[in-house]
Structure 1
Amino acid sequence: MAHTWDPDRYLQYADERGRPFVDLVGRIDADAPATVVDLGCGPGNLTRLLKERWPDAKVAGVDSSAEMIEKASEIDGIAWQVDDLRTWATPDPLALRAPIDVLVSNATLQWLPEHLDLLPGLLDRVAAGGWFAFQVPGNFDEPSHTIRTELAAQEPYAELTRDARVPTSHAPADYARLLLDLGCEVDAWETTYLHVLTGDDPVFTWVSGTGARPTLQALPDDLRPRFEEEFRARLREAYPADADGRVILPFRRIFVVARKPQR
């Protein structure tokens, strides 16, 4: 079953999800790029920041989710496109595609298990001397993910969730080494954010808008509430609220900023 995205659910923690994007883009030292592309732009709220930073650039946002692009289209001054990241990484032997000065991908590559193999193709889309910057979560060993995996492997869920997409990423050094071997200058690092969340079952709200969404959508309507109830209970135990109702969610993220050789 193909899953769909809910822009409104995703935007519930827009500030927390947006901070890594700001930290990533802050390391791109491009003065006056002509073309800037946000690959995996989601609802476009962060792509808008690219237009604000480089107002004279032609800025485009690309996402495979029609729901996300529909939401993003409410923002003027940016070209929006529904497309698959994998098609962007395919060879262009006739050199028909215009090179991109700044290519950004924020919290998107983790959805493609083969994304390490796609990086050379994506780099090919970047102009000589241009920038390729991406950020992926690196928290897949945390309870927010392991609990979902363990629960989904149990009956009666296992058969239904077996083919649901799950995110994954690599060590920062793996990304850095690959791009260094391609001749790039590379700045790679990792950061663990401590998000302070409030509300009813805030960690469930967070993961149900991103990493857990395909698993939840793989379940039929009559079985999903049972799964969600158990998932919520286990998350509450793993991430207890303090006396003031605050929950701390550690979230490790991996950043890579690469500059392509001038020639």
Structure 2
Amino acid sequence: MHWDPDGYREFTDQRSRPFVDLLSRITPQQPRYVVDLGCGSGELTALLARTWPEAQVHGIDSSAAMIEDARTRAAARPAEAGLTFEVRDLTAWTPGPHTDVVLSNAALQWVPQHRDLLTAWARALGPGAWLAWQVPANFDEPAHALMREIAARPHWRRHLDGALRHRGAVAEPGAYADLLLDAGLEADVWETTYLHLLSGPDPVLRWMRGTGLRPVHARLPATEIAAFEAEYAQELRAAYPPGPHGTRFPFRRILCVGHVPHSSQPGRTRPDS
């Protein structure tokens, strides 16, 4: 699936809010190695490098276009010498003995087996390490429900049947908290609905082009994409009418932070110990 760094970057300020909120709950002492899984074009990975300038900060993403963009931007910031990027499938990655922080921002919803991966990562981390992630939880909102409804119409179903697998893409907060606790980590899990105020014509369509519409674009012939978007945009205008201050776009997200204790509490051991 092709990713467009410029399209994703259009709403950088709004998309970065959950990352910053997640980062505020991660408090390692002098981390050595920090990994950003699903780093995209790397702007937020660079924030990790500025937060922990003594650490080696490594961004991983499966999109060659995103990583090329990230490397180009990093080359223009020589002060961030500890920042590196790699094209890699995050499902093939595992923490090493010196991994102190693992963070994933709005990437794991694309990975069906991500709960198994999170459990494996949690159990592989050493004392004092941190595991944090954020996933969207708005798949029942009109932006996604309308996309699925249009994709199921006869004209589009021949190309898009099975392309949009949103249901069950993420777990509920309690399930993520249990995952961390079962692996022996301390858990800080919460959900937030950000009420974004978007401007300009068809802003929700433009937002979705950067993320949720990618599977549609990947499946449709190039000659059909504009027609699908026109049909989708008409439905979105009714669901998200512009107001005097812009278009309100509620976005629910689930944020999770786990911390491996430096030493077990009395009577408490990690499952893999």
TM-score after normalising by structure 1: 0.92
Deviation string for 1:153-179 (max 9, x for gaps)?
A: 111211211242545211010000111
Answering whether residue 89 of structure 2 is matched by residue 84 of structure 1, we say yes
Q: Secondary structure of 2:10's partner?
A: helix
The residue aligned with 2:26 is 28
Asked if the contact 2:32–2:98 (Cα under 8 Å) also holds between the matched residues in 1, the reply is: no
Segments ≥4 residues shifted beyond 4 Å: none
Answering whether residue 233 of structure 2 is matched by residue 194 of structure 1, we say no
Asked if the contact 1:192–1:251 (Cα under 8 Å) also holds between the matched residues in 2, the reply is: yes
The counterpart of 2:54, out of the listed 53, 56, 67, is: 56
The residue aligned with 1:151 is 150
**Which amino acid counterpart does residue 60 of structure 1 have in structure 2?**
H
Distance 1:44 1:60 in 2: 10
Computed over aligned residues only, the root mean square deviation of the Cα atoms, in angstroms, reads: 1.5
The residue aligned with 2:266 is none
The residue aligned with 2:214 is 213
**Which amino acid counterpart does residue 248 of structure 2 have in structure 1?**
I
The residue aligned with 1:47 is 45
The residue aligned with 2:69 is 71
Asked if the contact 1:108–1:136 (Cα under 8 Å) also holds between the matched residues in 2, the reply is: yes
The residue aligned with 1:234 is 235
The residue aligned with 1:251 is 251
Q: Secondary structure of 1:254's partner?
A: strand
The percentage of counterpart residues that share the same residue type is 47
Asked if the contact 2:2–2:63 (Cα under 8 Å) also holds between the matched residues in 1, the reply is: yes
Answering whether residue 170 of structure 2 is matched by residue 169 of structure 1, we say yes
Distance 1:21 1:194 in 2: 16
Q: For the structure 1 residues 124 and 87, does the alpha-carbon distance in structure 2 shift closer, same or farther, using more than 3 Å as the test?
A: farther
Deviation string for 1:72-119 (max 9, x for gaps)?
A: 002143110011111115xx9xxxx44310000000000012211211
Asked if the contact 1:62–1:81 (Cα under 8 Å) also holds between the matched residues in 2, the reply is: yes
Distance 2:234 2:12 in 1: 25
Distance 1:44 1:176 in 2: 28
Q: For the structure 1 residues 125 and 64, does the alpha-carbon distance in structure 2 shift closer, same or farther, using more than 3 Å as the test?
A: farther
**Which amino acid counterpart does residue 91 of structure 2 have in structure 1?**
R
**Which amino acid counterpart does residue 92 of structure 2 have in structure 1?**
T
Give the CA deviation at 1:125.
Answer: 4.5
Unpaired runs of at least 5, structure 2: 76-80, 264-273
Distance 2:42 2:33 in 1: 17
Give the CA deviation at 1:41.
Answer: 0.4
Q: Secondary structure of 2:255's partner?
A: strand
**Which amino acid counterpart does residue 255 of structure 2 have in structure 1?**
F
Unpaired runs of at least 5, structure 1: none
Distance 2:223 2:213 in 1: 18
Distance 2:98 2:219 in 1: 38
